Amino acid sequence: MSDGERKKRVSEAMRVFMGVGRSHRTAIDKFTAALDIHRSQNMLLMYLNMTENQPSQKELCDHFGVSAATVAVTLKKLEKNGYVERSRFGRDNRINHIRVTEKGKRILARTKLIFDKCDEIVFDGFSDSEMELLVSMMSRMKANIENPALYGDIVKETEDIANEKMA
User: What are the tens digits of pLDDT across the range 103-142?
Assistant: 999 999 999 999 999 999 999 999 999 999 999 999 999 9
pLDDT score for 96: 67
pLDDT of 88 > 80? The answer is no
pLDDT of 59 > 70? The answer is yes
CA atoms of 108 and 141, how far apart (whole Å): 31
pLDDT score for 55: 81
For residues 49-75, average pLDDT? 89
Question: Residue 58: which of 89, 102, 91 has the closest Cα?
Answer: 89
CA atoms of 82 and 121, how far apart (whole Å): 31
CA atoms of 113 and 72, how far apart (whole Å): 27
Q: Say which CATH class 3-124 falls into.
A: mainly alpha
Q: How far is CA 52 from CA 48, 55, 56, 109, 163, in A?
A: 8, 9, 12, 18, 48
pLDDT score for 157: 75
pLDDT of 33 > 90? The answer is no
pLDDT score for 86: 82
Q: Which residues are CB-neighbours of 30 under 8 A, at least 6 positions away? A: none
Q: What is the pTM of this model?
A: 0.71
Q: What percent of the chain has pLDDT over 90?
A: 60
Q: Residue 31: which H helix or E strand, with range?
A: helix 3-33
- 84-89 vs 92-100, strand pairing mode: antiparallel
pLDDT of 162 > 90? The answer is no
Whether residue 139 contacts residue 131, with contact meaning beta carbons closer than 8 Å, is answered with no
155: left (phi over 0), alpha (psi -120 to 50) or beta: alpha
Whether residue 95 contacts residue 59, with contact meaning beta carbons closer than 8 Å, is answered with no
Return mean pLDDT, the chain: 88
